[in-house]
Every structure is written in structure tokens, then in C-alpha cells.
Amino acid sequence: MNEACRPFREQLGSLALGHLDEIEATAVHAHLDGCSECRAEFRALRDVAGMLPLADPERLGEAVVAPPTGLAERVLSLVREERRLAQRQRRGRLAAAAVAAAIAIAIVVSLVVLAPSDPALAVTLDPSVPQVTTPIEATLTSRSWGTEIRLDVQDLPEGRVYAVWLREPDDDRSPAGSFTAVADGDEVVLSSALRLDEAAGIGISDGAGETMLYGHLPDER
């Protein structure tokens, strides 16, 4: 790895989870524009981060689908083989980290596959200000912990941080996280603790709190 990439590599996970402030996120995105290696790693981290809200530990007791027969033994066999290779090649720590990461991803994927699917609600967010001209499509799914939100983000000013929220019937806003707009658009996966059947609308605001786009949720759903 190029030494110039190291400080940015350390921030890729935080960027994928939306934990960087606007200045930090802008700096990392500028580096990604010119570094294909870091860009590839960020895409992989972003995909895994996008699945994390779908992993619902409370639903494990409700799942009626059992894991494939022999899954545990196959995983343990892989771990034992990696340990033997690590000892021979003196890669102890790196091999253990690789196995742990692979198992973590496998667990997340298993939770996504085994969890029963809930009906999704499609909502169009219409622009509320002149500088935004293109509507954004959102897909809202009811979960036991609240609401999962997927946004097809297009044509927002690049590099700026936007906040997503669900509107409650009394007009209070339930936060659902934030994202940084990129040049070619992207799919954003966020979550809110507010239940879908308790939400009246969904909106996106800029850093100053001004509503940029808003979509009303139908009463019958």
C-alpha cells in the first residue's frame, strides 16, 4: 500500500458508515477520485455497511428457516486450515484477522438471507428548493427495530452532507442518519428508530437544516 494512502485507508470504514464530518468526507472522496485501489476497497466496505442495518438479532428467535446442514463444521474446518497455513507461513495475526472478517461477513449475509422479508413502500421525494430539480426515489421497509430506508440519490450538489429524517404526525423529525452526495449518484441505506406505520413523511435536509426534498407517506399502507 502506498504510504500516501494510509491516512485515507484508516477513514474508509467511517466514511462507509457515514461517521465523518463534511470536511473529512470531502477530503476522502477527493482522494478516492484519484486512487483506484482505495476506491475498490471503499466499495467493498460500503456494500458490507449497507447490509448491517438488515442484521436484526431480535429476529433470530423468530426465524423458521434453519442454517444449511454442516455450516458450522465447514466454517470451523476453514478456521483450522487457516491456522495451519498461518503457522507455516508465519502470518498468524493477518490470517486470524482475515478469517474473522470472512466469518463476520458470512454471518451478516446469513442474517439477510434467513430473515423473513417485509413489504416495502415506495415513496417519491419531490424537490423543495430551486437548486434541486430531480426527484429522489425512496424505499421504506418496516423492521422490528424501526424503519429501513433506501435512497436512489441523484443530482444533488457533490461533496455536501445531507440529513435524512422521517416526519412524525406531530411534525417532529426522527433522524435516520446522513450521507455525502457523489458525482454519479449512489444508493444509500439508512435506518430510523421510528416505526413505518407511525411515520407521516420522509425528507432530506442540507447542513443548515433546510428541507431540500420531501415525500408524503400515504395514509393507507
Other Cβ atoms less than 10 A from the Cβ of 200: the count is 14
Q: Which residues contact 210 (CB under 8 A, 6 or more apart)?
A: 129
Does the pLDDT at position 57 exceed 80?
no
pTM over the 0.75 mark = no
d(CA 55, CA 110): 9
**214 against 98, higher pLDDT:** 214
CB contact at 8 A, 181 and 163: no
Which domains, and CATH codes, for the chain? Answer: 3-54 (no CATH), 64-114 (no CATH), 120-216 (2.60.40.200)
pLDDT digits (tens, 9 = 90+) for 178-197: 999 887 778 899 999 999 99
pLDDT of residue 63: 47
| Averaged confidence pLDDT in the chain | 80
Helices (H), the chain: 6-16, 22-34, 36-51, 71-89, 92-114
| Residue range 189-214: mean pLDDT, rounded | 93
pLDDT of residue 41: 85
Does the pLDDT at position 43 exceed 70?
yes
Residue 103 binned pLDDT confidence (cut-offs 50, 70, 90): low
Percent of the chain with pLDDT over 90: 31
**42 against 89, higher pLDDT:** 42
| Residue range 15-27: mean pLDDT, rounded | 86
Residue 49, helix vs strand vs coil: helix
Residue 117 identity: S
Does the pLDDT at position 18 exceed 70?
yes
Alpha carbon distances (Å) from 96 to 17, 83, 176: 24, 7, 35
pLDDT digits (tens, 9 = 90+) for 115-135: 445 578 999 999 999 988 899
- Smallest Cα–Cα separation from 137: which of 221, 215, 49, 218? 215
pLDDT of residue 118: 59
pLDDT of residue 50: 74
pLDDT of residue 142: 93
pLDDT of residue 105: 67
Q: ∠ CA(62), CA(63), CA(67), 5° rounding?
A: 145
**205 against 79, higher pLDDT:** 205
pLDDT of residue 202: 97
